[in-house]
Amino acid sequence: MAGIVELKNVSFSAQNRLIVQNFSYQFEEGKTTALVGPSGSGKSTVLKLSAGLLVPSEGDVSFRGMDIFAMNRRENLDFRKEAAMVFQDSALWANQNLFQILELPLRIHFPDMPVSERKNRINEVLKEVGYKRDLMIRPSQLSMGEQKLIAFGRALMCKPRVLFLDEWTESLDEYAAKRLIELVRRHQNEQNTVIFVSHDFRIIKSLSDYIIMIIGGEFSTVFSREQIEKDEDLAQHIERGIAS
């Protein structure tokens, strides 16, 4: 399959510290790729660079062959509609209630959508993620797990073709985590693309078509699902690397 997101010789520095160095990779459309490595290795930074949320210090990031940071407003809106992010800390706006947070992507990308249709779409997504509480409350009134469900729901609102997920099952109980994993499987079955960071090797092994090992902010190697399934020693090596 063709590449959908590509990083070419990407480096990123913050506060005079080099976090990602000369990273190159082309993510295949319709495939699921896990970014793994020791704590502090730059996984989440690579994910955010891939999603166009951080501007690289050097190198290029492209989506369907277009430089993300050279897009005009219309092209960027189309990209943001097609690609969605779930942040590790959920990143919900503290000064808005849950309905406003969930409605905003629809207001941006479907400005002519009637209010009734917006409400129907929000209810549909909340049913999918399993959130059943009041929508007129603010994020501070939710548990960390509930915030993650809302963040996941917001990401699904415009039916994206690419999901960027950063430690997306963290803080969830087993039932809620299982529900979101099934939603990702549905996303996969629809030939969509998933790029995610996780420390849970069971999830990584179960969902990934490819696993990229990142060490010290650099691309180390990539493994396929077949390699992991055939080589138990390799699987254990990766699991130990994630835990370190």
**Residue 1, pLDDT above cutoff 60:** no
**Residue 132, pLDDT above cutoff 70:** yes
Quick one: 128 exposed, middle or buried, by C-beta within 10 A (0-12, 13-18, 19+)? middle
Q: How confident is the model at residue 171 (pLDDT cuts 50, 70, 90)?
A: confident
Q: How confident is the model at residue 244 (pLDDT cuts 50, 70, 90)?
A: low
- Report whether 179 contacts 130 (CB < 8 A): yes
Using a pLDDT cut of 70, give the percent of the chain over it. 98
Residue 206 backbone zone (phi > 0: left; psi -120 to 50: alpha; other: beta): alpha
Which residues, other chains included, contact 120 with Cβ-Cβ below 8 Å and sequence gap of 6+?
Answer: none
Which helix (DSSP H) or strand (DSSP E) does residue 62 occupy?
Answer: strand 58-63
177-207: pLDDT as tens digits: 999 999 999 999 999 999 999 989 999 999 9
Residue 170 one-letter amino acid: E
- Domain layout of the chain by residue ranges: 3-243
Q: What is the pTM of this model?
A: 0.94
**Residue 243, pLDDT above cutoff 70:** no
137-148: pLDDT as tens digits: 999 999 999 999
Q: What is the CATH number of domain 3-243?
A: 3.40.50.300
Mean model confidence pLDDT for the chain = 94
96-129: pLDDT as tens digits: 999 999 999 999 999 999 999 999 999 999 999 9
> Looking at residue 17, what is its pLDDT?
93
> Looking at residue 44, what is its pLDDT?
96
Residue 167 one-letter amino acid: E
210-238: pLDDT as tens digits: 999 999 999 999 999 999 888 888 888 88
27-78: pLDDT as tens digits: 999 999 999 998 889 999 999 999 999 999 999 999 999 999 999 999 999 9
